[in-house]
Amino acid sequence: MNQQNKIPISEPNVNIGVLIKYLPVIVQSLRYLRKVASNIGKKDRG
């Protein structure tokens, strides 16, 4: 069971597929974090 769940690092095609699959989520998360960080910065200044 555990071996099937793990992503084999030796297969780059699988990793690229996973990256493409999660890329929108990662980008969205980064944008959100940047927005939150800028909001915190504004609060500190003001």
**Residue 2 in this model has a pLDDT that exceeds 60:** no
Domain spans of the chain? 13-45
The model's pTM: 0.50
CA-CA distance, 26 to 31, in Å (whole number)?
9
Q: What is the per-residue pLDDT across 4-46, written as a single tens digit (0 to 9) for each?
A: 666 555 666 667 888 888 999 999 999 999 999 999 888 876 6
CA-CA distance, 40 to 44, in Å (whole number)?
6
**Residue 1 in this model has a pLDDT that exceeds 60:** no
Nearest to 13 by CA among 3, 21, 5, 4: 21
Which two tokens mark 6? 């793990």
Q: Compute the radius of gyration of the chain from its Cα atoms.
A: 17
